């Protein structure tokens, strides 16, 4: 599981598949295996991680950097000791965004070739690079109370709704006091779920994602749309999340 769906472009209604999400995800094992098989054919480069849109990487990172700086001004602000990069691919986000801002960064990525590339790409950071977990997110559980920021970008489209909810529940437990989850994702504009049968992923409406977050017991504390992306791409939003405080 890695950075971005091949379905980064908006889907034309006339070209969309007729199968429903329920139909393609009914066998979750096959669904996940198909996605894993697809990504095993992708070259471990920035362009590969971004589905041929490597040119947007700089704009993407600058938008994320601005968003993170706003979060550090929140009260209470998240710490800057340790971050987790989920669906990390070859470590693009860790290298350009997280490692310059945090003392230590761990990565979680299911493709072993990408994990090896990340270890190589980030070797110059020495002890700042923590553990590179070779794990799919539907199986991954962050250590409780460990992370100031858990960064999740362009990867949740590969998880079923149930696994998405459960993953957020586990991530919430993985936060330090004052910690935040940051979700950066493509969203549809037509309130429908778009299906990419090539890489076995879905793109959800923002409202549906917020419903899943509510089920997981996390709330949105800041929301911002990524600017300056090409118009033919899906809208991309950044959501800062914290666990709902229980009375």
Half-sphere exposure of 94 (CA within 13 A, CB side): 35
Q: What percent of the chain has pLDDT over 90?
A: 85
Identify the residue whose tokens are 């919430």.
172
Note whether 5 and 186 are within 8 A (CB). yes
Quick one: tokens of 70? 């706003």
Domain range annotation of the chain: 26-243
Rounded Cα distance, 25 and 40, in Å: 20
pLDDT at 15: 43
DSSP secondary structure string for all residues of 190-222: SSS-EEETTTTEEE-BHHHHHHHHHHHTEEEEE
pLDDT at 26 over 70: no
Task: Give φ, ψ of 140 to 5 degrees.
Answer: -90, 135
Note whether 107 and 3 are within 8 A (CB). no
pLDDT at 12 over 60: no
pLDDT at 10: 54
Does 153 show up as a binding residue in the annotation?
Answer: yes
Give the residue ranges of DSSP H helices in the chain: 21-25, 28-39, 46-49, 57-71, 92-93, 112-121, 161-173, 206-216
Give mean pLDDT, residues 103-127: 98
Does 219 show up as a binding residue in the annotation?
Answer: no
Does 91 show up as a binding residue in the annotation?
Answer: no
Tell me the CATH number for domain 26-243: 3.40.50.150
246 confidence band (pLDDT: 50, 70, 90): confident
Total length of the chain: 247
pLDDT at 203: 97
Measured from the Cβ of residue 235, the count of other Cβ atoms closer than 10 Å reads 14
Q: What are the pLDDT digits (tens) for 120-166?
A: 999 999 999 999 999 999 999 999 999 999 999 999 999 999 999 99
- Which residues, including other chains, have CB under 8 Å from residue 63's CB and lie 6 or more apart? 226, 227, 228, 238
């Amino acid at each position: 599981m890695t950075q971005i769906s091949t379905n980064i472009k908006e889907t034309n209604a006339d070209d969309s598949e007729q199968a429903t999400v329920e139909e393609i995800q009914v066998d979750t094992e096959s669904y996940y295996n198909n996605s894993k098989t697809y990504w095993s054919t992708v070259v471990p480069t920035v362009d590969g991680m971004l589905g041929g849109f490597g040119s947007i990487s700089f704009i993407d990172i600058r938008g994320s950097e601005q968003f993170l700086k706003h979060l550090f001004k929140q009260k209470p602000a998240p710490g800057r000791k340790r971050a987790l990069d989920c669906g990390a691919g070859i470590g693009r986000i860790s290298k350009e965004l997280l490692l310059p801002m945090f003392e230590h960064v761990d990565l979680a990525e299911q493709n072993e070739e990408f994990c090896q590339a990340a270890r190589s790409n980030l070797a110059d950071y020495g002890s700042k690079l923590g553990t590179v977990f070779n794990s799919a997110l539907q199986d991954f559980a962050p250590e409780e109370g460990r992370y100031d920021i858990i960064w999740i970008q362009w990867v949740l489209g590969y998880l079923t709704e149930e696994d998405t909810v459960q993953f957020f529940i586990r991530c919430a437990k993985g936060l330090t006091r004052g910690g935040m989850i940051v979700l950066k994702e493509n969203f549809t504009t037509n309130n429908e779920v778009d299906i990419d049968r090539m890489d076995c992923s879905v793109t959800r409406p923002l409202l549906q994602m917020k419903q899943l977050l509510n089920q997981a017991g996390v709330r949105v504390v800041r929301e911002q749309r990524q600017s300056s992306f090409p118009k033919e791409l899906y809208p991309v939003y950044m959501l800062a999340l914290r666990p709902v405080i229980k009375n």
